[in-house]
Amino acid sequence: DTEVTQTPKHLVMGMTNKKSLKCEQHMGHRAMYWYKQKAKKPPELMFVYSYEKLSINESVPSRFSPECPNSSLLNLHLHALQPEDSALYLCASSQGHSGANVLTFGAGSRLTVL
């Protein structure tokens, strides 16, 4: 069982909808990540939160809006998405300290934009 929990597992939305993806971890990790993965491609980093502050935004379009309410929770708010945004969205967490910074991934949320 993964220790990073993502909901929902599947999401279908229209281009005018507003939805959110949620991620939770209880490992005491202080860094949380959103990755996007298209079929047969590697994960691409979107955002990193470190100690609840946004530390990396990989030039992600504003239709994706991250939020970190506390050190255990990470949300990704979605609005006015395009069909090309359909992908597997992976949340991950790490201890956030220096060193290896090993990522633990959640099971992912598969998003389909119609």
Contacts to another protein by CB under 8 A = 2, 31, 33, 41-43, 45, 48, 50, 55-56, 88, 90, 94, 96, 98-108
Q: Is the dihedral of CA 104, 59, 40, 76 positive or negative?
A: positive
Q: Which is nearer to another protein, 48 or 113 (CB)?
A: 48
**Minimum distance of another protein from residue 27's CB (angstroms):** 13
Residues forming beta bridges with residue 48, ordered by sequence position? 33, 56
Distance of CA 75 to the CA centre of its chain: 7
**Minimum distance of another protein from residue 26's CB (angstroms):** 18
Answer yes or no: are the C-beta atoms of 68 and 85 closer than 8 Å. no
Q: Which is nearer to another protein, 85 or 93 (CB)?
A: 93
**Minimum distance of another protein from residue 87's CB (angstroms):** 13
Q: Which is nearer to another protein, 31 or 113 (CB)?
A: 31
Taking the C-alpha atoms of residue 33 and residue 37, their distance in angstroms, rounded to an integer, is: 13
Taking the C-alpha atoms of residue 98 and residue 46, their distance in angstroms, rounded to an integer, is: 20
Taking the C-alpha atoms of residue 61 and residue 59, their distance in angstroms, rounded to an integer, is: 6
**Minimum distance of another protein from residue 53's CB (angstroms):** 12
Q: Which is nearer to another protein, 3 or 14 (CB)?
A: 3
